[in-house]
Structure 1
Amino acid sequence: MSKNIKLIHPRNQITEIISRIYKRGMTTTSGGNISIIDDSGDIWVTPSAVDKGSLTPADIICVKKDGTIIGEHKPSSEFPFHKAIYEARPDIKSVIHAHPPALVSFSIVRQIPNTNVISQAKHICGPIGYAKYELPGSDELGEVIAEEFKEGYMAIIMENHGTVLGGTSLTDAFERFEALEFCARTILYGSQIGKPNYLTDSQIEQFEAQVPASIPEMDVVETPSDEVEKRLEICNIVNRSCEQGLMISSYGTVSMRWKDNDFLITPTNVNRWDLEIDDIVQIKDGKREAGKTPSRATWIHQEIYKNNPNINSIIMTQSPYLMAFGITDSYLNVRTIPESWIFLQDIPTVKYGEHFKTNTNSSIVENCTTALIIENDSVIITGDKLLQTFDYLEVAEFSAKSVVLGTSLGEMVPINDDQVEDLRKKFLS
């Protein structure tokens, strides 16, 4: 979906985002609803009782400012609270309501997830409100939700119901929705293997204070065919990562070595789902492509390439099961199955802040293993070809998932030292 959403009809915006939500398992065929209010005051909303997995733009309903309904179906039964939110908060232009499993878990135990669990979520989600239970589709539900939004919240847990989020655009609302559900999932998975640790507000401010634009701009940019090919490869891997739940809108950096120590890297503050070839930033001789702001992590990618000539691609992302280990003091032992150990060996964890430019002696560069976890922030995966690096990410996430799920069955029995030595001799010698 183009970043210039004003050029996309609300019908198309809604069907694109509901498709993402459904395919990622964050709503059901019948559950959830999305709306957009346009500049005329008309509200475009998902229909009632129509399969969320196969919605088309023609299915989207328009409720005119005067109450006239245009469309083939009835508007969502939850339309009253969408309307109440827009009346209470003129700055909100889009609303998402859904029942994603992790946030429903919080809603049924009547808790609010602490977004300080990962680096960027506090600023994306803002403070989280809490709306008491009222009958779905009722005016009373609209009233209690509107009251929460009047307090300034953009994200609300609905008691025994799910969540509702607002945004200045549908992209903004989805980014908030995705980040909040990710926090909830990470806390839940982390709680199965240990006790979640949270960042302080000052640690989060350190993350936000990084200024990638301080890298000087280059005067001339060359984009030969091999460079363009790498840009496309990065975009394809980022999109694939988003579709498979290995990356979210608000966090994820992918880079590829181009030639020598020059490389291409994803930008900052661009929705990962909507990344385009022109967004990719070229870094050459320590300078950035003019007019573009590269990832906050550019410096560390640059140092990894300089110090590790065998590494030609890097993925830095947040995936829920790996981050379960990133937010706890639990060690991820990948001696689960032969493939996991052969690809990954041991996965070290480093302290939060090791990835900031102020830490020029970062152990991330010195201990550049295939996979490395930064506490409460991300996982870094390195490799030769980008597809290979993506494969390592998948293997790491699957391994973490197996360990988390296995905790309910008993204590993990890893491959023993003799078996590891056999694998080393056969596959790594």
Structure 2
Amino acid sequence: MIKAPDGRIIFEHERQDLAKLVNITMKRNDTNVAGGNFSFKVRNDDGKDYIIMTPTMMSQAYLGELNPEQILVVEPHTRRIIAGEGKLTREINLHEGVYDANPDIRSVFHSHAKNSMFWATSGLNEPNITEATQKLKKIESLNYEPNCSEPLADLVSDKIREIGDAGLMHLYLLNSHGILATVGKKDEIMDGLSAVHQALAIVDTAEWNAEIAYKQAVFQSLGIIDGFYSESSRVGTLKDLVAGKAIYNKNAGQGVTKYSNSKAVTVNGD
């Protein structure tokens, strides 16, 4: 049994913060009126985990303006709502699937960020070229599965198991649906609030990356540059993009390619 001080709500600070985060995400255009769903795990004094999660229709019905009482406290697997006025999203299966696939993950952040969705709807992997996003490495576009479906939850959870510790800071593109950021720490109980804040940072920086990658693709098509560039290194080409190769700077901080005028000229590399 979870108890709160008289006159207060359980996990009040965490629910206040998530309500604020929803509003910020909307204002930053990191999601749209279709919303998405954000969650993170908390542990009570008895060592039991609960999921703090946004209610369904958080953006369409509530316009992104939530109060802490509307944020849900959910018991994993039973999906019993311990506290919260909202209704549970059908996408709970996706969140639970990710948490089960890697127990070290402490936050699952699914949104409909428009620039990243450009790459997601194209079915192409997003070239990862900005300095702030290099830790994400490959930004992969997954095959299409319907939203809120068990096949989508199974697809993502299988991928999370496959990549192991990489899932502790990762971003997937969900074909025609949105994006999914996961955050955690290896062999350590990461604070859930820290995890969901980091997940938003991933989504926010990936949005900038998605637009810049698109513009670099256009410049290649126009013949202005000869590839995708990150930290002065050529990290891939349009041909690599179409072939589905991972495009990111595998030697971040050790650039081997320099610019000369408006053209990119390789010094030591392919």
Q: TM-score range by the shorter chain?
A: 0.5 to 0.7
CA separation in 1, counterparts of 2:66 and 2:260?
40
Counterpart for residue 103 of structure 1: 116
How many correspondences in the alignment? 205
CA separation in 2, counterparts of 1:202 and 1:107?
22
Question: Can you give the 5+ residue segments of structure 1 that lack an aligned partner in the other structure?
Answer: 1-6, 208-326, 332-350, 352-429
CA separation in 2, counterparts of 1:113 and 1:328?
26
1:163 maps to 2:167: no
Matches within 5 A, 1:216-255: none
Match among 200, 206, 209 for residue 180 of structure 1: 206
Matches within 5 A, 1:51-130: 51-65=62-76, 66-69=78-81, 70-115=83-128, 117-123=129-135, 125-130=136-141
CA-atom RMSD, angstroms?
2.7
CA separation in 1, counterparts of 2:138 and 2:113?
19
Structure 1 residue 11: Cα displacement: 1.2
Contact 1:131 1:148 (8 Å CA) reproduced: no
Counterpart for residue 256 of structure 1: none
Distance change in 2, residues 1:81/1:167 (3 Å): same
Contact 1:33 1:46 (8 Å CA) reproduced: yes
Please state whether the residue corresponding to 1:87 is helix, strand or coil.
helix
CA separation in 1, counterparts of 2:68 and 2:85?
11
CA separation in 2, counterparts of 1:72 and 1:97?
21
Distance change in 2, residues 1:140/1:185 (3 Å): same
The structure with the greater share of residues assigned to strand is 2
Counterpart for residue 46 of structure 1: 54
Distance change in 2, residues 1:108/1:30 (3 Å): closer
Match among 19, 25, 29 for residue 21 of structure 1: 25
Query: Structure with the greater relative contact order (CA < 8 A, sep ≥ 6): 1 or 2?
Result: 2
CA separation in 2, counterparts of 1:75 and 1:328?
55
The structure with the greater share of residues assigned to helix is 1
TM-score using structure 1 length: 0.44
Q: Considering only CA atoms, is the larger Rg found in Structure 1 or Structure 2?
A: 1
Structure 1 residue 85: Cα displacement: 0.4
Please state whether the residue corresponding to 2:125 is helix, strand or coil.
coil
Contact 2:123 2:143 (8 Å CA) reproduced: no
Question: Can you give the 5+ residue segments of structure 2 that lack an aligned partner in the other structure?
Answer: 1-10, 185-194, 234-248, 266-270
Please state whether the residue corresponding to 2:197 is helix, strand or coil.
helix
CA separation in 2, counterparts of 1:9 and 1:98?
23
TM-score using structure 2 length: 0.68
1:34 maps to 2:38: yes
Structure 1 residue 44: Cα displacement: 1.2
Please state whether the residue corresponding to 1:35 is helix, strand or coil.
strand
Please state whether the residue corresponding to 2:110 is helix, strand or coil.
strand
CA separation in 2, counterparts of 1:328 and 1:19?
44
Q: Percent identity?
A: 22
